[in-house]
Structure 1
Amino acid sequence: MLNRFPLWKYLLILVVLAVSFIYAAPNLYPDDPAIQITGTSTALEVSEADMARASQALEQAGIPVKAATVSEESRGGLLRLERQEDQLPAKDLVRRALGDEYVVALNLAPTTPQWLRNLGASPMKLGLDLSGGVHFLLEVDMEKAVQTRLNVYEGEIKSLLRKERVRYRSMPQQGNAIQLGFSDDQTLAQARALVRDNYNDFQVDESTRNDLRVLRLQLTDAKLAEIREYSIKQNLTTVRNRVNELGVAEPLVQRQGASRIVVELPGVQDTAEAKRILGKTANLEFRLAAEPDAARATTEAFEFRQPGRPPVQLERNLIITGDQVTDAQASYDENGRPQVNIRLDGRGGDLMNRATRNNVGRSMAVVFIEQRPVTRYVRQDVDGVMQEVAIQSFEEDRKIISLATIQSPLGNQFRITGLDGQGESSELALLLRAGGLAAPMYFAEERTIGPSLGAENITLGVQAALWGFLFVALFMMAIYRFFGLLATVALSFNMVVLVALMSALGATLTLPGIAGIVLTMGMAVDANVLIFSRIREEIANGMSIQRAIHEGFDRAFSAILDGNLTTLLVGGILFAMGTGPIKGFAVTLSIGIMTSMFTAIIVTRAMVNLIFGGRNVKKLWI
């Protein structure tokens, strides 16, 4: 029988629409402005007492708190606020109340009902131009990058001299130069020849100091420029990898000037985690434990990260650093304790093997290095008014996370044990897997991007979409009457399915994306225009109404399919080759094409079949 669907097809359409309504529903619940609180280390847990202190500080300042919760899973806390404009002052107050042991960051807390979240439904992610987001300006410490590379060079050169049995005396570095003392000219000449044969990155000078012949190895200007350029490029790559590990959609990570990196994270839900992961140096140093009779000038004392253990003397010379780590995976040892499996590059494996094969039985330490923020408040004259101003600086925290006896020579693969829980092992593996930083980075600037501008963009975008929908609906009903009304209903379903798909897929909606949605409205009814015009023509040619409806849908399908496939191809090219706003437009356009094929053809035909199918229709209002 013409114009009748089997029951299963109607049921399938109803299921798709019902699921779409469910997954689009979270977008009706706007997020709460919030303050996220976490510890600077995964070992530090935010307690109810900490949240009470933070809430009290806000209440004393007249900032209402909607709710304060502590999450056992993330070991952090969340303060929900009533007003968006309270976020920035609330952040400063909470940071001051809790101190430098905690990371305090801006956040958006979801208000989606729990039953929707249990089904995996979440609101659509909004781009930086709509909902705002987090903007970080990271400053790369170039001097620390040079110092770290110089320390590695010094360790390698001293190992080379010891291997060749050239006696030397360690001396402190001066500027960007390594200094070594020798007892006579012959020994100095031998050392100079070894350095010249193995290294070409130094400008070599000689001098005499207190009856010592001093060999001074100064890094060349070309090498210094190379180290600085490598540091910014390596950190840029590492930040991009870390953002990818965080799963942020549509991020912006780009270089600014000679030593800065800009990071914009739109729609981030856990900015505290992002700040902690992005800001940590995640650098490692592998050092041998000092022998009992070692000279004090060649050793350095380090504390353990776990409290209660006495400090240990380690050699100043480095074996390798975290730069040589190519892969890191968190796992468990045979006793169920957390560990990180490390894989080194070729050079790192050679250095590790060289250092451990002659030191079996000695202890080797893994030193974890991070920059801890320290905030102090001073009174300064600001526009003629004395105010307390927060000044942030950073302290380098270098502590042992593992000290183990070398059982056999190590190579490209080994493991780090002695970690404080599965959270620390996972975080350390993530940081190392994303890539080691060539130099520490500081948060030179942090701000929320355009909350007021974002709200205005959303308002204007929604208004444009509504006006577009209204004019399309009026046009369709004026030209095609009742069938135009059916097309308008199908277009409404199209918007619901589109929003549901974008929410479920985690696609990011940007301002150009809204333009893509408005364009989708016009393209969606294009299919209906082709179908309805074909039905009119068939009726005018004397065909029966039921046959005209059937032929209209069937014969217009090939033209609709061809037109939509070519547009979808262009959308795919825009997504693959474009960036930022262009991708946002391509996403909504491509998804909109697929949803419009479903609603404009299948849903519209289902409604027409239900109303007119199998009936003796004398006149068709089209």
Structure 2
Amino acid sequence: MERNWYLRIALIAGVLVFSLYQLVPSWFYFQLPPSERNGEKYDQSVPSWAPSARKHLNLGLDLQGGIHLAMGVDVDRAVKAKVARRADEIADFLREKKLPVEASAPTPDGARIAVKTSDPKRVESIVLDQYGSELTSPSGAPQGTVYFAFKSKVLQDFQAKAVDQAEKTIRNRVDKWGVSEPDIKRKSNNQIQIQLPGFKDPEKAKELLGRTAQLEFKITDDDSAALDGVRAALPACPVDQGLLRAPLPEGGCWSVEGVELPGGQARQATFVAANTRAQLDAAVDKAAKPLLPPGDEIGVGEGTIGAGPVKDRFYRTYLLHGKTELTGDYISDARAAMDNSQGAGKPVVVFTMTPEGGRLMEKLTTQNLGRRMATVLDGKVETAPYIQGKISTNGQITLGSNRPYQQMFEEANEIALVLKAGALPAPVTIFEERTVGATLGPELIKKGTTAALVGLLLVVAFMILYYRATGLIADLALVLNALLVLAIMSIIGSTLTLPGIAGFVLTLGMAVDANVLINERIREELRAGRTVRQAVEQGYDKVFWTIVDSHVTTLVAGVVLMQYGSGPVRGFAVTLIIGLVASMFTSIVVTRAFMDFFTRRDTARLSV
């Protein structure tokens, strides 16, 4: 028995040392004034032998402040995008039905779909038979054209769902990002309020949360020579041995690149380039857009100039078919990875599509073998490789420009995160941004801390007065329980808020409750005439499954809250789960180790 007892005491001592060691950064963190806790002074105060300075307990927005954002969802733009997608869908549907259709596109205001056809009545009848549950055919269309528009109820439902989807997407991004205890909720006027406790970088928050992550796949129009006309309006880009030479002329310039066409043909395609995005946009508006053929659009990407280790970034155009062949809505997973196909590893984003997305991608790539397919992320052409063969469920996004490795890797991680969390259904606009202070204030925090300590001391005193020696053992286990819970919370970077404190106090109460059950059972065994040794063994054995049942049922509830809850509810659940596991360890393992030692002899006496 003694050998077994020494092993258990070694385990308990190890847990105690581990807990105290993990709480060292938190101790130095809370010793400093709030203004110095996140600066260089705090980093220097943590001893070199201690865990990383980042492994400390955080305070929530209600205790320490953070970032407050109010974002508005552009539902009108979402509606226009839906109208454009339905216009393309109607065009494909009519062509499959062998009906005469010249064009199917949104009207200039983006509210209706205009279908040009030589048989308007038949087209109207066929389309309404297929889409009548959502579309109507308003009057006022010119001759040879049919108008279609979404019903008011359909648009209202779609707008509401767009805001709901935006809220869910932002919540997913925050949860995957690792920000603890976020507060995300709907407001009026299609706005979403976001509070990030303890987060100190508003620019990064806006970049992550405001990024629409609209991923589109479009086919380049390399057959068209429409952009050749820009040569009359812009100067030629300087070239050195066939490569662009920096700096490019102010206001933009034109150059050519060799492109391959299906069937083995090739041609020199013209594109516009500039030093900055603003210069390129001005040059495109001036020289390129007036030349666009119907159904085409200008895509913008990045490139690099120079062959040495230091390269200059420039912006360039791609001539794309306006139709979006496939979107990122079909992506099921995404992650940052390394592309070693060309020797040196380069960060890329690897994605996996859903079965339906894989089928559509395979159809798209089969129909466009030998052509370039542009990957457009948030309106920027990231890459435009040639389709060499059929692609189905797996693909990757190659990031443009030659930037530092760490910067590209961070961007790949952020793109993967937002793609995996879901694309925003429409762009969002930040209406309000501020760094907020603690809403409770130092005085209320001090009162809450005092109340918790007083309550803990009263429980400790009650256990000692009522159960005497066994109560003292339970109190020691309770202290270890608290240290272990706080240590685990500091390791995972948990944020301590009022709901989290509630979960913490609840688990301490359950730990005491378990010891009360054990002590009362030991009393019953002693009254039944058992020896002290037998009473302790029977007390723990008979109460064991009762304690397990009570903890497991609460644990299941905590897991459900963590899985489906968010914000404060999720923080409460995390603290509750950690506390339950620690409570079972201290109530069953710790207290029994000491009880077994003190009652190891038949002549032992027990004060209970």
TM-score, reference length from structure 2: 0.70
Once the two structures are overlaid, the 10-residue window that deviates more, 605-614 or 312-321, is 605-614
Partner residue in 2 for 1:497: 484
- Give CA deviations for 1:497-520 in whole Å, capped at 9, x if unaligned: 232233345555442443454455
Partner residue in 2 for 1:474: 461
Distance 2:93 2:528 in 1: 96
1:557 counterpart = 2:540: yes
1:278: Cα distance to partner? 1.7
Q: For residue 381 of structure 2, give the secondary structure of its aligned residue in structure 1.
A: strand
Distance 1:440 1:587 in 2: 33
1:215 counterpart = 2:146: yes
Alignment check: 8 A CA contact 2:67 2:200 kept: no
Change (3 A) 1:345 1:492: closer
Distance 1:4 1:326 in 2: 54
Partner residue in 2 for 1:427: 414
Change (3 A) 1:110 1:401: farther
Once the two structures are overlaid, the 10-residue window that deviates more, 168-177 or 607-616, is 607-616
Change (3 A) 1:526 1:189: closer
RMSD between superposed Cα atoms in Å = 4.4
Alignment check: 8 A CA contact 2:84 2:105 kept: no
1:318 counterpart = 2:327: no
1:154 counterpart = 2:135: no
Alignment check: 8 A CA contact 1:207 1:213 kept: no
Distance 1:573 1:195 in 2: 51
Partner residue in 1 for 2:374: 365
Distance 2:436 2:299 in 1: 41
Mapping of 1:5-404 within 5 angstroms? 6-30=5-29, 80=39, 113-118=47-52, 122-158=55-91, 164=98, 166-168=101-103, 173-181=108-116, 186=118, 188=120, 192=124, 195-196=127-128, 199-200=131-132, 201-205=134-138, 213-257=144-188, 259-268=190-199, 272-290=203-221, 291-293=223-225, 296-298=292-294, 299-306=296-303, 307-331=313-337, 332=339, 334-335=341-342, 336-345=345-354, 352=361, 356-369=365-378, 398-404=379-385
Distance 1:208 1:496 in 2: 74
- Give CA deviations for 1:512-537 in whole Å, capped at 9, x if unaligned: 44345445555545565666678788
Change (3 A) 1:507 1:574: farther
Change (3 A) 1:269 1:493: farther
1:277: Cα distance to partner? 1.9
Percent identity of paired positions between Structure 1 and Structure 2: 34
Distance 2:596 2:104 in 1: 95
- Mind listing any 5+ residue stretches in structure 1 that lack a counterpart? 35-63, 68-78, 83-107, 370-397
Alignment check: 8 A CA contact 1:356 1:406 kept: yes
Alignment check: 8 A CA contact 1:487 1:528 kept: yes
Distance 1:148 1:4 in 2: 73
1:142: Cα distance to partner? 0.5
Alignment check: 8 A CA contact 2:57 2:490 kept: yes
Distance 1:353 1:613 in 2: 73
Alignment check: 8 A CA contact 2:94 2:101 kept: yes
Specify the code of the residue in structure 1 equivalent to 2:112.
A
TM-score, reference length from structure 1: 0.68
Alignment check: 8 A CA contact 1:281 1:440 kept: yes
Alignment check: 8 A CA contact 1:32 1:109 kept: no
Partner residue in 2 for 1:395: none
1:463: Cα distance to partner? 1.2
Once the two structures are overlaid, the 10-residue window that deviates more, 277-286 or 221-230, is 221-230
1:440: Cα distance to partner? 1.0
Alignment check: 8 A CA contact 1:480 1:621 kept: yes
Query: Which structure's residues are more often strand, by fraction?
Result: 1
Q: For residue 215 of structure 2, give the secondary structure of its aligned residue in structure 1.
A: strand
Distance 2:504 2:537 in 1: 27
Alignment check: 8 A CA contact 1:23 1:121 kept: no
1:263: Cα distance to partner? 3.5
Specify the code of the residue in structure 2 equivalent to 1:225.
Q
Partner residue in 2 for 1:407: 388
Change (3 A) 1:400 1:253: same
Q: For residue 310 of structure 1, give the secondary structure of its aligned residue in structure 2.
A: strand
Partner residue in 2 for 1:86: none
1:262: Cα distance to partner? 3.5
Q: For residue 117 of structure 1, give the secondary structure of its aligned residue in structure 2.
A: coil
Distance 2:128 2:506 in 1: 67
Q: Number of matched residues?
A: 517
Change (3 A) 1:477 1:442: same
Find the partner of 1:417 among 391, 395, 398: 398
- Mind listing any 5+ residue stretches in structure 2 that lack a counterpart? 227-290, 304-312, 402-407
Distance 2:588 2:363 in 1: 70
